Structure 1
């Protein structure tokens, strides 16, 4: 798989979980030691990821575009994305997302996730 295909396979599942307000589905994409930085304080691991997404409002939707990819090692891919989050009751929020996905067993897991507003 190319770097873009790897990222899209993970991010399509992430988007499906966000859009369906399924925090455990989103958290399952993260490694046990994943560093997660949303727009609140950072956390480590799937439990913190699930708590973060559980706190998000129902009706939240995500759309993303991959801006850059890099293969850092055979089992590591970096992605830099533009992400728009839409809500049912307020204007959209545009952010940038950097993430590193790591190949573990038969799947790719998010090892690092950091959002920034510019």
Structure 2
């Protein structure tokens, strides 16, 4: 497996778990996909740690769904994968929000987890 394929597999494993938890509105399970000291930047001021991630996703409306597509990957170190993604967040009562997302995924004792998450809305 080449490094790009391996990096994409790592990202898909973590992001599929993240997506499943987002889609089923399970904020604590979403937060479990992040490191204990994660830096998290959604569409509001940033937070540090899993509690901030859980609070952010708990405040999201029921019916929120995430669909992602990996645009780029980089492997700055053996235990780190950088991902740049296009994500569509769909809602039951308003238009879909298209964003770009940068994540830094880190290998931890718990497995691969998101150490940094930053959303950009360009439109």
Normalising by structure 1, we get a TM-score of 0.98
Among 21, 38, 42, the residue aligned to 1:38 = 42
Q: Would you say 1:51 and 2:91 are equivalent positions?
A: no
Among 89, 92, 97, the residue aligned to 1:85 = 89
What is the alpha-carbon distance in structure 2 between the residues aligned to residue 13 and residue 76 of structure 1?
18
Among 22, 28, 31, the residue aligned to 2:26 = 22
1:115 counterpart SS class:
strand
Normalising by structure 2, we get a TM-score of 0.94
Unaligned regions of 5+ residues in structure 1, if any?
A: none
CA RMSD of superposed structures (Å): 0.9
The equivalent residue for 2:65 is: 61
Aligned pairs for 1:6-21 within 5 A: 6-21=10-25
Unaligned regions of 5+ residues in structure 2, if any?
A: none
What is the alpha-carbon distance in structure 2 between the residues aligned to residue 26 and residue 58 of structure 1?
14
Count how many residue pairs are aligned between Structure 1 and Structure 2: 118
Q: Give deviations 1:77-114, integer Å, cap 9, x for gaps.
A: 00000000000000000000000000012510100000
